[in-house]
Amino acid sequence: MTSLATANHTGHAAAEAAGAHAERAQAGWKEDAYRALVAYPARQGGREFLAEDVRAFAIELGLAADPVELRAWGHALLRAKREGVITPAGYRSAASSNGGPKVLWKAALRLT
């Protein structure tokens, strides 16, 4: 059986790989996606959100194009979490996973 630590490591490695793939396909994509993600919580009133909400926001405003692999958004989400921009807030059903649960995010309080 796979440990939780191994599963987390595998997921993070997959997000890194998908982000690198998106960057190779479209130079600057990782930074564009990250900037869109940082801007999103304030623009939507601090409400909790799913990754697919940020993706739609970024595309609508032309902040980031859809990457070749949608899992590349995981790279931006993990970076924002690591840098204290967002924090997990639970789970919610998502259209992108046929109604399956996805991480629900919220803006994090920053103590800087």
Residue 100 belongs to domain spanning? 4-107
pLDDT of residue 50: 96
CA distance 41 to 44: 5
The two structure tokens encoding residue 41: 């919580």
Q: Domain for residue 36, yes or no?
A: yes
pTM of the entire structure? 0.85
Q: Domain for residue 48, yes or no?
A: yes
Domain count, the chain: 1
Q: Domain for residue 112, yes or no?
A: no
Does residue 63 sit in helix, strand or coil?
coil
Residue 60 vs residues 7, 64, 66, 81: alpha-carbon distances, Å? 33, 9, 11, 23
For 63-92, what is each residue's pLDDT tens digit?
887 888 888 999 999 999 999 999 999 999
Q: What is the CATH number of the domain that holds 82?
A: 1.10.10
Q: Domain for residue 103, yes or no?
A: yes
